[in-house]
Each structure stands twice: as C-alpha cells, then as structure tokens.
Chain A
C-alpha cells in the first residue's frame, strides 16, 4: 500500500532524472501540494453540497492532477531548466530551496497551515476476512487506484507519441532533437506527468492516513528519491520496484523491531544508504557514464 504511493512519487523522480539529468528535490513538496489541492477541491465540493464519493473522488483527482501538474511545469520552467546546464550542485540547491518555498507557502497561506488536516474518508469502509487477516476495502481501493495510475503511466510512455519523445530525450537529447522532438515541450510534458502522478500519490496518502500535513513532502520526497535511486535512476520500472520495496522495508521494520513504528524510517534510510554505497546504479541499472 505504502509501496504503491512511494512508487508513484519515485516514478516522477526517475522521469525527471531521465529527461534532464537532474534530481528535482522539490518533487516531494509537489506531492504534498497535490494532497492539499485535493483537500481544497473536496472542501469546495462539500461546501457546494456535492460531497458524494462517486462524483467527488474522480473530480478531486482530476483537478488536483491538472493543478499540480501545472505547478510542476512552472517549477521546472523557473528553477530546474535554467540551471540544468550548470553544476548538479546548483540544481540541487535550487530545487531544495524551491521545496522550502512551496512548503512554507502552504504553511503560511493555507488557513491554519501548521496543523495536520483531516482528510475525508471517501472510500468504502469495512473489510472482508481472508484467512485470518482483515483486508480493508479502503486499502484495496487505494491499491487499485495506484496500480491504475501506474498502468496509465506505462501506457503513456510506451504507446503515445509523447511517451516516445520522453524516452528519446532520456536516451539522447541531441539525437532526439535532430529527429524533430521539441525538447522544451517534452520536458514540460514530463514534469506535468510526474507532478500529476505525485498528486495522485498525495491524495492516496490523504485517504490512507486520513490526514495530511504540510511537512509530509519532506519525508515523502526523500523516500521517493531513495526508491528511485534503489531502482536505478532513469528507469521507470526500477522506480516502481524501488517504491514497493521501500514500502515492504518499512512495514517489515515496523513489525520486527521493538518500538518499530518509530524507528522504521531509520532502518529504511540506513538500508538506502548502504544500497547507495554498494550498488549506486540501482537494482535495474541507471544511466551515467563519464568519459576521459
């Protein structure tokens, strides 16, 4: 479950890396923004008396995806692309700071931004018993939506023209341009796609935890980046795998270690660190070569 959400964020990271060779550190805060955008839509719908799940949920997703996607493109235009040619340190610092700006903006401008916000429970409650475990409908729904999103991404990347353009630019930007691919538009599209995915993840997170908080993007971003790195930066399936693995890692740690729920993140991050040291190219391989 968690893994699915992490995977969605991780895919964003990996897509951005593929296309621009940058790590977009504010992506985690985009994920948070998606959740808040969703909450705002829901609040609006509720105020307008349209709180029914059947209508509210898809609408929330749709609006949030579009809004967050656009913010993602804006972030890319302002902050990421101009610095993409400069040293990676610059982009790193710039996107970190942009994340800070997004975070603080929500804190300051959203009413009572510092408090965790309850997220409405829109999914069917209750569950079904399966061999001793209770499988909650809610979790199934989240899993389903998450998987649907991943399948959608897969389709987009494999079967659409834009998807092909994204893959081309990821492999070799110059060659892609020579084949007629519009670099700027492709980068925009990639950021829209990644940010939209993060929005889905954000809303799912709200549904899962029944609350959202303005700092959820910090941990979310670090986890998403870690997951993408584990899977191999630039490799979409690696990102999905990494996200799922991370979720499993966290849940296992929480179960096995005494006081595990507090320390599960420690274990997960420690594993990530070990991973980066010994297998930095990730499980499924990344893209990076330096020639002398």
Chain B
C-alpha cells in the first residue's frame, strides 16, 4: 500500500518541480532542459505500459492522499515563486479562472444551458464591488461577498429567455446580453464610463491589508501571495461545492435535462427549477471571480469584461473537458499561464485559444480530462 502513496506523492512532486522550473527558467538552455524533461516524463508514462496503468491505479486508490499532496504543493507554490511577484499574480489569475470556470461549467457542461455572457456576469460582480466600495464606502470583504449576488439577481432577469429558448437562440440571447452590458457600463455615468471605476480598496481582513508582504515559514513573499492564498481558498471551496452538487440528485437531473429534456420531464424533473438553479448557481461563482478580480487589481473597466473574455472562459472548459470538474482545474492551469510564459506568443494569444478550441472540438471533444462516471462518493 505504501508503494501507492510513494508513487502518488513522487509523481506530484515531479510535476510540481518541473512546472516551477519551467516557469522560472531564465536561460534558453534551462527552459529547453525543463521542456525536455516534461516531454520525457510524459512519454514515459504514456508508452511504458505498466507505469501508466500503475500510476492511474495508485491515484484511484489513494484519492485522499493525492488531494492532500496536491493541496500541500498548491500551498507551497508561492514559496517557490517568491522571486517573481508577476508569476504569483498569474497563478492567482489561474485560480480565478478555476472559480469562474467551475461556475460556467455547471451551466454549460452539466445543465446544457448555453451562457455566452460569462464576461458580463463576472463584470456584474466586479462592478458591484467597485460601486459598493468606491461609491458606497463598504469594506472590500463585504463587497466581495455581496457582489456575486448582484450577478445572480441580474441573471434572473434573463430567466425567461433562458427557459424559453435553447441552443443557438439561447446563445444569441446571451451574446446580446453581454453586448448590452458592455455598452451600458461604457456609457452610463455611474459606472464610470470608459474609464471604469478606479481606486477600489484592496482586501483587508481584521486589519491585515492584503498589500502587506506576508511571510511564510520565515520566508518573505511578494504581497500578491495574500491574494494567491485567498484565491486558492475560493477556488478550492468552489470546486468542492460544485463537485458535491454534480455528484448528487441535482447533477444527475441536470445531466438528464441536458441530454434529453423529455425524459427528464417524464421522470419528474422540473425544467424551470433545474435550469434556473443551474444558471443561478453558475452565475454566483462567475460573479465571485469577477468580484475578487476587482479587489485584486483595484479597478474595473469595460474592456475587462467584453465578449472576448466569454470565449476565454469557454476555452478553459473545452480544453479541460465539458462537465468535468477536474477538467476545469486543468484547463485553467494550462490556458492562463502558458501564453504568459511564452511571451512571444502573447500577441497570438487569442488566436491560439481559438485554434486550440477548434482542434479540441474536432479531435478531442471530451477534453483532456473527460467527465467521469458518477460514483457518488
């Protein structure tokens, strides 16, 4: 049994080391060496027959230990990245996309409710925080807790169209919504117009302002690490809650609603309640991501929440795997840091996202980490 444990933790440590090395490698040769090591490791697992199967088996048998190990490494990441506040920021951004992605995935992947207005709902959360703190004088932590509810409430305005339309009509309705949102915040006075809302106060819990540089185990970390840990908690909680909802009567009802609405109705599933619930729950977490973003960067403006970002959110889900909770995590962790790492790709970033989505849909439509059969654990 302890061979399983050793295998799981060694594998996680190896991935961690390689990822950190890939991020921090300065010289081309170092980057090349790391890349080579990653490819070699991947090939080893893929092509040495018993190794791959043994690893998968070990992870399946030691799920709790694997999760614990993953948590430890996630907590240690800022330590490893302490020399780079920029990369701490990127890691935090990835965690934000995990939160948003899980919300969007619950709507799109689990319930089949197409929502192309993800950017608008994140924007609603962000702008709610901006208005509450700057115009209303609220403390940031309170604004972040309340912001998502604004997204949910406004989302219910779309409730009737959500119910009555489906497929491409629903897509069009949500696209229209995100356009309307963007035009409104761009042109209305109280949302600050094209400049947006600036000087959103940073998060401050019990007197501890998130702009102070924390220290972990005696080591000084960049100030951004505060946000990283908060985002880690947020993403972790989101994933935990949504996994439990997915593996429940609700998730099953939503899957059936998605795959065959008539069957679902004949089994006693209320279409109205199901879709509204999925839509609202998803919007909450999307709005939460947007709200957190607002206090993290300190300002919100219309271009931060335009239609293009809806597509980025979508790509996170598609790459990871539609209706796959771990897939969303993988998708965010791949899609957010990679263009940052390869700076020369930065200009081509959106182009690459588009190409990747098309390629994935054609050849691997179920994603890199496809949804697994429900086991109700």
Q: Do chains A and B touch in the complex (CB under 8 A)?
A: yes
Instruction: Spell out A's residues near B (CB within 8 Å).
Output: 23, 25, 78-79, 82-83, 86, 88-90, 92-94, 96-101, 103-105, 108, 218-219, 222, 225-226, 229, 259, 262-263, 265-266, 269-270, 272-273, 276-277, 280, 292
Residue of A nearest to B322 (CB): A89
Residues from chain A with a CB closer than 8 A to the CB of B362 are 79, 82-83, 94
Nearest 4 A-B pairs (CB), nearest first? A100-B354, A104-B351, A101-B354, A97-B357
User: In the complex, A277 Cα to B365 Cα: how many Å?
Assistant: 30
B179 contacts A265, C-beta separation under 8 Å: yes
A265-B187 CB under 8 A given contacts A97-B357, A100-B350, A100-B351: no
Q: Is B299 close to A, CB under 8 A? A: no
Partner of A104, one of B183, B315, B354, B361: B354
Residue interface mask B343-355, A partner, CB < 8 A = 1: 0000110110111
**CB closest residue in chain A, given B179:** A269
Minimal beta-carbon separation of A283 from chain B (angstroms)? 15
* C-alpha gap A263/B357 in the complex (Å): 33
Q: Is the CB of A277 within 8 A of B172?
A: no
Contact A229 B172 (CB under 8 A): yes
A94 touches B180 (CB 8 A): no
Q: Main SS of chain A's interface residues?
A: helix
Min distance, Cβ A196 to any Cβ of chain B, angstroms: 23
**Chain A residue nearest to B306 in the complex (CB):** A218
B357 touches A93 (CB 8 A): yes
CB distance from A102 to the nearest CB of B (A): 8
A280 — which chain B residues lie within 8 A by C-beta?
164-165, 169
A94 touches B183 (CB 8 A): no
Q: How many residues of B contact A (CB 8 A)?
A: 41
CB neighbours (8 Å) of B354 from chain A are: 97-101, 104
Residues of B within 8 A of A25 (CB): 171
Whether B180 pairs with A269 at a CB distance below 8 angstroms is yes
Q: In the bound complex, how far is the Cα of B365 from the Cα of A86, in angstroms?
A: 10
A45 and B314 CA atoms in complex are apart in Å by 42
Residues of A within 8 A of B350 (CB): 100, 103-104
Check if B365 sits within 8 Å of A90, measured CB to CB: yes
User: Given A101-B355, A263-B187, list of 5 further CB < 8 A pairs?
Assistant: A88-B167, A104-B351, A104-B354, A259-B187, A273-B177
Q: What's the Cα separation between A222 and B180 when bound, in Å?
A: 12
B307 touches A97 (CB 8 A): no
Q: How far apart sit A259 and B193, CA to CA, in the bound complex (Å)?
A: 14
Give the Cβ gap from B185 to chain A, nearest Cβ, in Å. Answer: 11
Q: Are B187 and A83 in contact (CB under 8 A)?
A: no
Within 8 A of A (CB), among B273-328: 307-308, 311, 314-315, 318
A99 to B314, CA, bound (A): 14
B184 at the interface (CB under 8 A from A): yes
* CB-nearest residue of chain B to A95: B358
Q: Residue among B114, B116, B167 with the most chain A CB within 10 A?
A: B167
Partner of A266, one of B173, B183, B308: B183
Task: Say yes or no for B175: interface residue by CB 8 A criterion.
Answer: yes
Cα A222 to Cα B184 with chains together (Å): 17
* B161 sits at the interface (CB 8 A): yes
Are A272 and B176 interface neighbours, CB within 8 A? yes
**Which chain A residues lie closer than 8 Å to B180 at the CB level?**
265-266, 269-270
Which residue on chain B has the smallest CB distance to residue A22? B168
Minimal Cβ-Cβ distance residue in B for A89: B114
